[in-house]
Amino acid sequence: HTRFHQATFHSTASFEGAVFSGLAELLEVTFLGYASFARVRFEQGTGFSGGEFHGAADFARAVFAREAYFLFTQFRQQARFEGARFGESAGFAEAEFHGPADFSGAVFVRMEPGSVPWGTYAASAAGEAGRLAELRDRHRGGTGGAGPLLDGDQTVASSGSGLPYVGSGLALTTIS
């Protein structure tokens, strides 16, 4: 289990080619420079929720074998996910992409409805569901507790034939 919580990387951060065999939590982490997770393999659930990428974020050809969550994550410059593979579920609810976002060639494996609810990762990762609710409220200026944690209920995925598939999961909600 790897956990970076509220950490700040002031310069380049490179994890290229690394393998995370356990749960990888990079929650509310700030990357001020270039951040590379190119060709990284995440064997278990992965969370980058509440993070900020001020420099380019590179996830090209990364493999997310199970859940991958980027809830409320800010991508200030380019976000590269080309050729990435997302396993059981991918969540980008309320993520913001301020620069180019490249998902060309990415594969979103179809998640069967009900097979892995969005909360599986959040609830199992040391009670992070409450932290995500706080993040939502902070971003919306809310008072906490009201309404569902997430608004989305769809994930765009590959059907295997190259055509998009819309299934259960989370939605990418903001690209600006």
Q: What is the pLDDT of residues 108-165, one digit of tens each?
A: 886 544 434 343 333 333 344 455 555 555 555 554 433 333 333 333 333 333 333 3
| Start-to-end C-alpha separation, the chain | 34
Which DSSP category does 110 fall into? P
Tokens of 100: 């180019």
Structure tokens at 145: 């507790």
How many Å apart are CA 121 and CA 123, to the nearest integer? 6
Q: Residue 25 in 3-state DSSP?
A: strand
**pLDDT digits over 74-119, tens only?**
999 999 999 999 998 889 999 999 999 999 999 988 654 443 434 3
Question: pTM of the full predicted structure?
Answer: 0.67
pLDDT of residue 140: 54
pLDDT at 141: 55
Distance CA 24, CA 22 (A): 6
**E strands, 60-148, in order:** 63-64, 67-69, 74-75, 79-80, 85-86, 89-91, 96-97, 101-102, 107-108
The C-alpha atoms of residue 155 and residue 163 are separated, in whole angstroms, by 13
Q: Say if strands 41-42 and 63-64 run parallel, antiparallel, or are unpaired.
A: parallel
Q: pLDDT tens for residues 25-50?
A: 999 999 999 999 999 999 999 999 99
